Amino acid sequence: MKPKRDKSIIRRLVSSYITTVISISLVLFMLGLIGILALSSKRLSDYVKENISFSVFLKDDVKDADILRLQKNLDAAPYVKSTLFITKDMAADQLKKDLGEEFVEYLEYNPLPQAIEVKYYAEYANPDSIVIIERELKQFPQVSEVYYQKNLVSLINDNVNKISLIVLVFSILLLIVAIALINNTMRLSVYSKRFNIKTMQLVGATKSFIRWPFIKASVFQGIFAAVIAIALLSAVISVAERELDNIISLNDFSLIGVLFGIVILLGVLITALSSYFAVSRYLRLKSSELYF
């Protein structure tokens, strides 16, 4: 009978330990997710901004050599990410596809101008810069008109700012929730040992001597939980890389390293401080107050 009972007690202790570790690791995992979101939100907004295309329409009588020169000039400009020359035929093909109608035959000529499609770097894709760039482009003699969706540009910029603010507020809230949850978990496990803490004081142990094993154990739990959280985060990152190739590309290893470092640091710091304060609380209490 006896060995069997011992095993069940050990199993119960182990399972409560694991429950603590898992609850901490889930909280850390949530924090890490928000971190990834914050890291990739810049990339995401850049991706969207750099995919707004600006059509630089060219006059019909411009020679191919001039067009090529203009394209080279544009490529050399600091604000241009990529350019694509679109001939009249290509424009017609595209429009034909969009409309599903043989409009060239119908009209008997191709009214579409030749154009260069320009994509800007994210830093320049905001309403203010675009106006300046537009003015600059119009000074080229080959250019007849610059076309882009003005609303789209300001809409994207407004929304990106709003989303970053929301992400920031959300991360702060989540951090507070994480601290509260971990703190509660640690306090519960210290509470279950409050009589032992008092007994230790009665036999002449100093406060720091009593505190140290609790802090050591909780730091181990914190590290253990952080490792689990990092494993989960790595899985999320690798799935995201595969599924959302261009949008969330997290191949920046130093950045991810910093994120994982923060997860471990938070895990250790929050658990250690929580158990420090929890133990100190029971060290201060009189023995008659322990029963509450």
- With 0-12 / 13-18 / 19 or more C-beta atoms within 10 angstroms meaning exposed / middle / buried, residue 7 is exposed
Q: How far is the CB of 277 from other proteins (least distance, A)?
A: 18
- Give the C-alpha distances (Å, rounded to integers) separating 91 from 113, 117, 119, 141, 264: 8, 11, 17, 21, 54
The CA distance from 148 to 151, in Å, is 9
Give the tokens for residue 279.
């133990």
Binding residues for other proteins, per CB under 8 A?
193, 195-196, 198-207, 209-210, 286-287
Q: How many CA atoms lie within 13 A of 225 on its CB side?
A: 35
Q: Of 9 and 99, which has the nearer Cβ to other proteins?
A: 9
Q: Any residues with CB less than 8 A from the CB of 7 and at least 6 apart, and which?
A: none
The CA distance from 240 to 30, in Å, is 16
Q: Of 141 and 204, which has the nearer Cβ to other proteins?
A: 204
Q: Of 177 and 290, which has the nearer Cβ to other proteins?
A: 290
Q: Of 10 and 265, which has the nearer Cβ to other proteins?
A: 10
Q: How far is the CB of 269 from other proteins (least distance, A)?
A: 26
Q: How far is the CB of 224 from other proteins (least distance, A)?
A: 20
Closest CA to 246 of 30, 54, 51, 31: 51
Q: Of 184 and 206, which has the nearer Cβ to other proteins?
A: 206
Q: How far is the CB of 220 from other proteins (least distance, A)?
A: 16
Q: Of 80 and 210, which has the nearer Cβ to other proteins?
A: 210
Q: Of 3 and 100, which has the nearer Cβ to other proteins?
A: 3
Q: Any residues with CB less than 8 A from the CB of 198 and at least 6 apart, and which?
A: 282, 285, 287, 290
DSSP 70-100: HHHHHHHSTTEEEEEEE-HHHHHHHHHHHHT
Tokens 């019909």 found at:
60
Q: How far is the CB of 278 from other proteins (least distance, A)?
A: 16
Q: How far is the CB of 218 from other proteins (least distance, A)?
A: 16
Q: How far is the CB of 219 from other proteins (least distance, A)?
A: 19
